[in-house]
């Protein structure tokens, strides 16, 4: 166990978390089918090359400029126009030469390298999300298999499969709308871990995904420094906060409680937990403890299954929560620096570097549709504190090119008003009060029973099983 001694005399214990295996990370979950082979000299190769040139030109046109959304869209359209014309000319040449029919040529699209990478990641993330939804259903069916007859079990499966299938459909719709996947590509990705009918004969004690959370909680070691090939460092307090956060998420997970309230219920529960409290203001709480909250939330986005949070119908609210997490991360980082906890011999240097990389990778490659203000400021601040941000395949898809873009964006935004936790948080708190609204363990027993699988047809539960907005989704409202 490594220890760093902060100026405020708070000892900081560092533990090491093993890197996820390919099975844990979902790399073998499917969704990673080989890309279509592009033949040299083919129309596809030519169009892909033009697409790469277009992307480079667009990035150059947008760089070092400040503009509104409409102005940005105009710049993109004007810059892209000659490249799109060149693509049409290339298609027409293949038609004129008799190599392709006109419809065949029109169907071939140019795709730049960045979009190809994003598409691969989207397939993998969707596969993992679908498997997680299916896995929760299977765990529920295994529990029933121990106490129900075969006929009763089949009836229960028929009755309760709808919520899980609805969630799978919504997950697919989310990826089709927000990721570079076509409807056909999304439909082709299916859960790869079986289904309830195939699995209903297995008992709860059979081998399966059971116990993963407990294994993860104990899956720590304590070498003295970072071992990149084996694991990554977090503070012991940060890991404890993550475990506490995961337990709180479980209290809001309708699947774990064998319930169906409405599709977005669990996602809103996760967002409620991310609407953190005001400890950042309290002078009697160590900056190390404040950093532990940032660690816990970042680890959850990395390890805890963020898809339900991302899928809620309140995308604006989710964007505000993620943005405030970035501002909190920046504020805690500055506090650590002020008390001397970021030094050349402190294990916190490695910890801060890897947690910052996790956070940036999530924001750039997962939360790509959300407007986040503080990414360039986070990169600028960590580098100003001599903390090296070194991309790694183990961290994710983030690379040096993306860091360069973030730095360039920072050059024309750094003169704007400084992002401040003290000025931004009070306004944020009015819309995001946090609390225990979605804690299922605090719901009245009758209310919980009405949403249990098998009771969903009861009259007093019908009103809660359709679409809900954040304003009327309090489970205790009736």
String of DSSP letters for 224-266: SS--TTTEEEEEHHHHHHHHHHHHHHHHT-TTTTTB-S-TTHH
How does DSSP classify residue 464? Answer: G
Residue 452 CA to residue 447 CA, distance in Å, equals: 9
Residue range 122-143: average pLDDT? 77
Which 8-state DSSP code applies to residue 272?
H
pLDDT value for 221: 31
Please state, in angstroms and rounded to a whole number, the distance separating the CA atoms of residues 62 and 239: 40
Highest mean pLDDT among 9-23, 54-68, 300-314, 454-468 belongs to 300-314
Residue 421 in contact with residue 280, Cβ under 8 Å? yes
Statement: residue 167 has pLDDT above 90: no
Mean pLDDT across the stretch 263-269? 88
> How high is the mean pLDDT of the chain?
74
| pLDDT tens-place string over residues 51-69 | 999 988 887 887 656 555 5
Q: With 80 as the cut, is the pLDDT of residue 403 above it?
A: no
Position 38 pLDDT exceeds 70: yes
Rounded-to-integer distance, Cα 304 and Cα 145, Å:
28
Give mean pLDDT, residues 303-323: 80
The predicted structure's pLDDT at residue 159 = 67
* Residue 432 backbone phi and psi in degrees, to 5: -130, 75
Q: What is the mean pLDDT of residues 268-277?
A: 79
| Residues 98-122, mean pLDDT to the nearest whole number | 88
The pTM (predicted TM-score) of the whole model is 0.60
Q: What burial class does residue 405 get, using C-beta atoms within 10 Å of its C-beta: 0-12 exposed, 13-18 middle, 19+ buried?
A: middle
Q: Which pLDDT belongs to residue 146?
A: 66
Report which of 255, 121, 256, 262 is spatially closest to residue 189, judged by C-alpha positions: 121
Domain boundaries, the chain: 2-8+16-22+233-431, 44-99
């Amino acid at each position: 166990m490594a220890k760093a001694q902060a100026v405020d005399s708070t000892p900081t214990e560092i533990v090491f978390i093993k890197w996820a295996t390919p099975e844990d990370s979902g790399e073998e979950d499917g969704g990673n089918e080989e890309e279509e082979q592009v033949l040299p000299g083919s129309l596809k190769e030519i169009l892909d090359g033009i697409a790469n040139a277009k992307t480079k030109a667009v990035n150059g046109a947008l760089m070092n400029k400040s503009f509104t959304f409409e102005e940005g869209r105009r710049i993109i359209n004007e810059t892209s126009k000659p490249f799109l014309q060149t693509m049409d000319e290339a298609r027409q040449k293949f038609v004129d030469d008799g190599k392709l029919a006109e419809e065949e040529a029109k169907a071939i699209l140019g795709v730049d390298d960045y979009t190809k990478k994003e598409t691969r990641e989207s397939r993998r993330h969707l596969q993992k999300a679908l498997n997680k939804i299916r896995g929760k259903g299977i765990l529920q069916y295994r529990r029933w298999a121990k106490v129900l007859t075969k006929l009763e079990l089949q009836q229960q499966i028929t009755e309760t499969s709808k919520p899980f299938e609805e969630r799978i459909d919504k997950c697919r719709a989310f990826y089709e709308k927000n990721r570079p996947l076509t409807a056909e590509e999304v439909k082709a990705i299916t859960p790869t871990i079986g289904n309830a009918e195939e699995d209903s004969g297995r008992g709860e004690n059979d081998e399966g995904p059971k116990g993963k959370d407990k294994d993860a909680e104990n899956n720590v070691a304590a070498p003295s420094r970072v071992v990149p090939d084996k694991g990554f460092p977090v503070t012991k307090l940060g890991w404890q906060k993550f475990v506490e956060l995961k337990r709180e998420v479980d209290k809001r997970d309708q699947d774990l409680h064998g319930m169906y309230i409405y599709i977005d219920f669990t996602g809103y529960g996760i967002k409620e937990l991310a609407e953190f409290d005001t400890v950042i203001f309290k002078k009697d709480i160590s900056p190390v403890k404040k950093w532990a909250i940032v660690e816990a939330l970042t680890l959850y986005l990395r390890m805890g299954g963020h898809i339900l949070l991302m899928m809620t119908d309140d995308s604006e609210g989710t964007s505000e929560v993620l943005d405030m997490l970035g501002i909190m991360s920046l504020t805690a980082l500055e506090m650590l620096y002020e008390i001397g906890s970021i030094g050349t011999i402190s294990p916190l240097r490695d910890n801060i570097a890897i947690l910052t990389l996790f956070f940036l990778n999530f924001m750039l490659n997962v939360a790509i549709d959300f407007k986040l203000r503080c990414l360039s400021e986070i990169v600028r601040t960590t580098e100003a504190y001599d903390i090296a941000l070194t991309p790694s395949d183990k961290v994710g898809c983030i690379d040096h090119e993306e860091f360069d873009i973030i730095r360039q964006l920072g050059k024309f935004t750094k003169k704007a008003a400084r992002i401040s936790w003290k000025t931004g948080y009070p306004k944020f708190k009015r819309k995001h009060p946090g609390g225990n609204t979605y804690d299922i363990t605090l719901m009245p027993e009758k209310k919980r029973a009405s949403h249990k699988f098998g009771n969903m047809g009861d009259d007093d539960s019908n009103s809660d099983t359709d679409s809900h907005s954040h304003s009327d989704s309090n489970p205790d409202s009736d």
